[in-house]
Structure 1
Amino acid sequence: MKILLLFGSPNLNGSSRILADNFIQGAKEAGHSVSMLDIAHANIHPCTGCLHCGYEGPCIQKDDMKQIRKQILDTDMIVFVSPLYYYGFSAQLKILIDRFCSFNTSIHQKHLKSALLSVAWNADNWTFDALESHYKTLVRYLNLGDQGMILGYGCGTPSMTSHSIYPKQAYQLGRNL
């Protein structure tokens, strides 16, 4: 299976990266082809709502989305990787998700598998409620096959994350695909 991680953290070496790297290791050991896109540092403009795309592209904007779209539609699974910023996806990843509108039908028809990897400083039991709800809505709307979520509570620093149970859980999620 071809797996594409959509890495939405502006911190390339933070806690989100620890989960991503462990997931990648497990998925590769299971025999999958895995790649990761640095969405946070890509040239992606926000959707303007102009509807030039007619909800199935091409988008009128000239940025990295043309290539990213191709990579998403050429994979079997997408993994959303994001730190929890104010109880949702990072702004960088959210911009990409908003641009899905230009190829909703194509994503829907692919029946892609998906997963979510996220970390948060907060460890309250409600910390991930809004992000989980958003992710589950994407799964339903885009006809994705959810393979699981790793939600790293209390992972405010790379050291905290490294010493938690979440890297092993991310590895197991990748390994068990």
Structure 2
Amino acid sequence: MKIVVLTGSPHRQGTSALLADEFIAGAVSKGHAIVRFDTAFEKVGPCRACYYCDRHDGECIQKDAMRKILPEILSADMIVLVTPLYYFNMTAQLKTVLDRLMPQRAALRKHPMKSAMLVTCGSNTDWNMDAIMAHYKVLQQYLPWEDQGVVLAKNVFARKDIEGTDYPPAAKALGERL
């Protein structure tokens, strides 16, 4: 299975990067092919809502990193969203990439995929993950994606906080179960 992993953190060695690495290790150990994009380090402009794509057969007016990201998503069997929680939702970098799926929304809606989400959060409050989970569920309904699992890592503000917890093994196990 081809899996596209989209990370959203601007920290290459942060908490969510560790979860991404562990998920990938688990999936690769079972023979899955991984394509990873660290969205914080890609040049992707926000959707301009210009609808150029509707008049040009799904082509976006912007010529940026989405030209390499979007074809990988369109040919994937699974998408994995990995992000730290920023103000109760995914990072702007990851959200920008998701917004830019718009030119191919019709194709994506005809291309069911498996999905998973890995989220880290510095807080230990139970409701902190509610908004991001609601967003993920709406994406599953709209595109359509079939959830394969979620890892919600709370109370892990820094890398040292997540190392040695059950969260990295849970991310690896999710990759191994596919």
Match of 2:126 in 1: 125
**1:1-177 alignment, distance < 5 Å:** 1-54=1-54, 57-177=58-178
Quote the Cα distance in structure 2 between the aligned partners of 1:38 and 1:127.
24
* Runs of 4+ displaced beyond 2 Å: none
Quote the Cα distance in structure 1 between the aligned partners of 2:18 and 2:63.
32
> What is the aligned residue count?
177
Q: What are the Cα deviations for residues 76-109 of structure 1, in whole angstroms up to 9, with x where unaligned?
A: 1110011100000101001111111111111111
Q: Percent identity?
A: 41
Unpaired runs of 5+ in structure 1?
none
* Shift of residue 75, structure 1, vs aligned partner: 1.2
Q: What are the Cα deviations for residues 50-82 of structure 1, in whole angstroms up to 9, with x where unaligned?
A: 011119610011111111111111211110011
Quote the Cα distance in structure 2 between the aligned partners of 1:107 and 1:123.
35
TM-score, with length taken from structure 2: 0.96
Quote the Cα distance in structure 1 between the aligned partners of 2:144 and 2:177.
21
* Shift of residue 174, structure 1, vs aligned partner: 0.4
Unpaired runs of 5+ in structure 2?
none
The one-letter amino acid paired with 2:146 is G
TM-score, with length taken from structure 1: 0.97
Q: What are the Cα deviations for residues 101-144 of structure 1, in whole angstroms up to 9, with x where unaligned?
A: 11111111111111101100011111100000001111111111
Quote the Cα distance in structure 2 between the aligned partners of 1:147 and 1:108.
18
Cα RMSD (Å):
1.1
* Shift of residue 153, structure 1, vs aligned partner: 0.6
Structure 2 contact 151–167 (Cα < 8 Å) conserved:
yes
